[in-house]
Structure 1
């Protein structure tokens, strides 16, 4: 297995790759404008996954660094999937020192329940207490 390097250095992020993946290949952010991706990166704790200096994965966490975090935009490019990189990326996120002892760590996924379950993520214990405003096609308008 090639040596995967994971970093929180925002200067190293390939924003063009992140935008292209999210806007064209993700199932959750089709059509997202680059300016929105840039603002999300600026206001999140970001994790880039790199092989030989080339970015192959990404994840970001929106958090107050004290009580709450939300994991979003997790991906590994298609040609590098099946090599354990998504597991290593999630492990790096969960091991980050600023994300310890949070009361709630949330995410939304349509197809990676098994991946996240191995790290203790479960359906909400009290779903009746959760509410949301959800606009799935906001970038199409």
Structure 2
């Protein structure tokens, strides 16, 4: 039997740092995400503070989704930490969050807007994201144990 779509709910998307629920967001990313598992609260707090962070809020005011954009607000942005609470998945909230993020005035006219995903290519493709071009030009330093989990 196919999973039923959830009834649409009214959400508010905001980039107001005063409204962002750091404890909830840290719980999602540090415990439930595949990309930030184990990130210390202090590290996550610094990342949020130095990014344009978006929260999605249910009618009762609870933060139910988030996304961050690491950006210079002029030429480049990297979308990361996109997370929708399990109870609100399937309601179109991911699409609503991405649409609000992409419409934000500080994120217009960039040369490049990037993201990385293991499992949401279909969602991001709807907004014009395509596989990375000129992959041979990109380089990275990758720390396999950034938070010292290996001891």
TM-score (norm 2): 0.90
Give a deviation string over 1:11-36, Cα, whole Å, max 9, x none: 11111111111110001001000001
**1:3 equivalent in structure 2:** 10
* Larger of the two Rg values belongs to structure: 2
* 1:125 has 2:125 as partner: no
Please give the secondary structure, in 1, of the residue aligned with 2:130. coil
State the alpha-carbon separation in 1 of the partners of residues 143 and 92 from structure 2: 32
Question: Cα offset for 1:136?
Answer: 4.3
**Contact 2:9-2:91 within 8 A present in 1 as well:** no
Question: Cα offset for 1:134?
Answer: 2.1
1:76 to 84, 87, 96: 84
Correspondence list, 1:1-141, <5 A? 1-52=8-59, 53-139=61-147, 140-141=149-150
Question: Cα offset for 1:137?
Answer: 3.5
Which is richer in helix? 1
Unpaired runs of at least 5, structure 2: 1-7
**Contact 1:28-1:136 within 8 A present in 2 as well:** no
State the alpha-carbon separation in 1 of the partners of residues 50 and 64 from structure 2: 21
Question: Cα offset for 1:125?
Answer: 1.6
Total equivalences in the alignment? 141
- The runs of at least 4 consecutive aligned structure 1 residues that moved more than 6 Å come to none
**Contact 2:13-2:54 within 8 A present in 1 as well:** yes
Question: Cα offset for 1:130?
Answer: 1.0
Unpaired runs of at least 5, structure 1: none
TM-score (norm 1): 0.96
